């Protein structure tokens, strides 16, 4: 009898142990949504992690997303295998300029668990206005989250400071466009030295076509005797020296660029001075291309990006005149590093060089482009060095085409902004920079930030 009781008890114990092995404390998995990278117009890369399986096998995992918060697997989803650990996926077919909410998910036999929610906004394709039309798409200040309350203060300042045309482009679209003091959208105005950057662009185009090299001597194209310097000193001057304002020629003798007035002061590359001798690059391009400057300009730049305007002789110089929108078109080309709606007008390498410090003397100067965000700068008509950046209130990555009496093209890649100001001098006659720049950017920043 005792043996029977013992065997019965043993069977109960074995059965109990067997049942205990089958009973598992199963819970939902633990999953996290870790990061979103490589965001483009229509794609993004998402990373997640199944940290714990909850006590049973993970049968599926992935990401779910939607344009509204708290997406679930009943919305859009991916299937990215099973098991625990880190996993990634590449989302494709997204809509541009759209905000998406995304969560990682993981499923076991209890159900589906969701990770934390992250969001991202796809990029917006850069807009380029049609070359053969007067239409130009717009954006509202409200859609960008800018401060509408500060717009009138900006406009009042512009009008008070003798402005004629003012445009802000964001990602190519017009956000603000205003005209003052009798000026209209069809009225031409002069670019002054802001047009130097047109000369930079044409020099770069000629180089990419193999017609010249920026390291060539200027005398290779103009012949010797184009200055009054000795042949040895003249032959030190390259096209790049003219682009970077480091010719070593005397800048105190006025706008006259005849040989007699182009006198030696220092070896090329050893002195920075704001000097109209840069205009000789137009003669270099004409000689290298075998065309007139106007013809080459119209064919290679003006027509391809839909600009209007003309070069008007002014003494030894030619000054470009156009509408404010045509200046904005060139600014948009600059924002896109020489690309116009998929066509590379000017190669990116040259453009990057043009908007990078070109010599060691004036850190705030590239190839006829002014550069913000540098630790020091020189001003026209002086050899003094000033500490700090040119426009403290402006973006550090901004590069600028600046002309006499406050003609302005401001370009900020980080903010995808092009800003144009045309008009008379804000305060007093100036060569390129003035206190107006910093105060204007104080007003602009109050709107866009």
Q: What's the pLDDT tens digit per position in 351-400?
A: 999 999 999 999 999 999 999 999 999 999 889 999 999 999 999 999 99
Q: Is the pLDDT of residue 434 over 90?
A: no
Q: What pTM was estimated for this model as a whole?
A: 0.85
Six-digit token string for 397? 């990555």
pLDDT tens digits, one per residue of 392-417 = 999 999 999 999 999 999 999 999 99
pLDDT > 90 in the chain, percent: 90
> DSSP letter at 217?
B
* Helix pair 151-160, 435-448: axis angle to 10 deg: 160
pLDDT tens digits, one per residue of 310-334 = 999 988 789 999 999 999 999 999 9
Indicate the SS3 state at residue 157. helix
pLDDT tens digits, one per residue of 304-315 = 999 999 999 988
Q: Is the pLDDT of residue 145 over 60?
A: yes
Six-digit token string for 110? 């209890």
* Ranges assigned E (strand) in 150-263: 163-170, 173-179, 189-190
φ, ψ of residue 324 in degrees (nearest 5): -65, -40
Mean pLDDT of the chain: 93
Long-range contact set of residues 339-343: C-beta below 8 Å, sequence gap at least 24: 340/128, 340/304, 340/305, 341/128, 343/304
Mean pLDDT of 207-217: 98
pLDDT tens digits, one per residue of 87-144 = 999 999 999 999 999 999 999 999 999 999 999 999 999 999 999 888 999 999 999 9
Indicate the SS3 state at residue 370. strand
Q: Is the pLDDT of residue 48 over 50?
A: yes
* pLDDT given for residue 132 in this prediction: 87
φ, ψ of residue 152 in degrees (nearest 5): -65, -35
Q: Is the pLDDT of residue 7 over 90?
A: no
CA atoms within 13 A on the CB side of 436: 28
* pLDDT given for residue 2 in this prediction: 44
Mean pLDDT of 47-63: 97
Q: Would you place residue 25 in the very low, low, confident or very high pLDDT band (cuts 50, 70, 90)?
A: low
Residue 298 backbone zone (phi > 0: left; psi -120 to 50: alpha; other: beta): alpha
Query: How many other C-beta atoms can be found within 10 angstroms of the C-beta atom of residue 386?
Result: 12
* pLDDT given for residue 213 in this prediction: 98
Query: How many other C-beta atoms can be found within 10 angstroms of the C-beta atom of residue 415?
Result: 16
Mean pLDDT of 142-164: 97
């Amino acid at each position: 009898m005792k043996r029977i009781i013992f065997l019965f008890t043993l069977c109960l114990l074995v059965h109990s142990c067997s049942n205990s092995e089958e009973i598992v404390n199963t819970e939902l998995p633990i999953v996290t949504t870790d990061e979103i990278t490589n965001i483009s117009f229509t794609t993004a890369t998402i990373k997640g992690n199944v940290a714990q399986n909850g006590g049973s096998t993970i049968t599926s995992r992935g990401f779910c997303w939607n344009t509204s918060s708290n997406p679930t697997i009943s919305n859009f989803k991916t299937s990215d295998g099973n098991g625990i650990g880190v996993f990634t996926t590449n989302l494709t077919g997204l809509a541009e300029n759209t905000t998406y909410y995304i969560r990682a998910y993981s499923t076991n036999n209890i159900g589906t668990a969701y990770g934390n929610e992250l969001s991202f906004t796809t990029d917006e394709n850069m807009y380029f206005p049609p070359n053969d039309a007067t239409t130009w798409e717009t954006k509202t200040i409200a859609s960008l989250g800018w401060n509408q309350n500060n717009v009138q203060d900006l406009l009042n300042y512009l009008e008070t400071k003798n402005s004629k045309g003012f445009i802000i482009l964001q990602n190519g679209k017009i956000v603000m466009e205003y005209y003052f003091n009798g000026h209209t959208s069809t009225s031409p105005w002069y670019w002054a030295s802001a047009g130097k950057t047109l000369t930079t662009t044409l020099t770069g185009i000629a180089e990419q076509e193999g017609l010249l090299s920026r390291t060539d001597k200027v005398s290779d194209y103009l012949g010797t005797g184009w200055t009054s310097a000795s042949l040895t000193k003249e032959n030190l001057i390259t096209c790049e020296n003219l682009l970077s304002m480091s010719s070593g020629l005397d800048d105190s003798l006025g706008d006259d660029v005849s040989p007699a007035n182009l006198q030696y002061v220092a070896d090329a590359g050893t002195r920075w001075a704001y000097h109209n001798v840069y205009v000789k690059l137009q003669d270099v391009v004409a000689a290298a291309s075998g065309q007139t400057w106007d013809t080459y300009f119209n064919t290679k730049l003006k027509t391809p990006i839909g600009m209007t305007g003309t070069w008007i002789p002014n003494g030894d110089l030619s000054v470009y005149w156009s509408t404010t929108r045509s200046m904005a078109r060139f600014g948009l080309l600059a924002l896109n590093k020489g690309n116009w709606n998929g066509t590379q007008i000017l190669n990116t390498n040259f453009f990057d060089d043009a908007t990078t410090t070109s010599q060691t003397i004036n850190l705030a100067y590239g190839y006829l482009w002014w550069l913000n965000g540098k630790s020091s700068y020189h001003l026209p008509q002086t050899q003094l060095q000033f500490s700090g950046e040119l426009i403290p209130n402006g973006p550090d990555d901004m590069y600028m085409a600046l002309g006499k009496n406050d003609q302005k093209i401001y370009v900020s890649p980080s903010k995808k902004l092009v800003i144009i100001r045309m008009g008379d001098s804000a305060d007093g006659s100036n060569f390129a920079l003035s206190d107006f720049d910093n105060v204007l950017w104080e007003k602009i920043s109050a709107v866009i930030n």
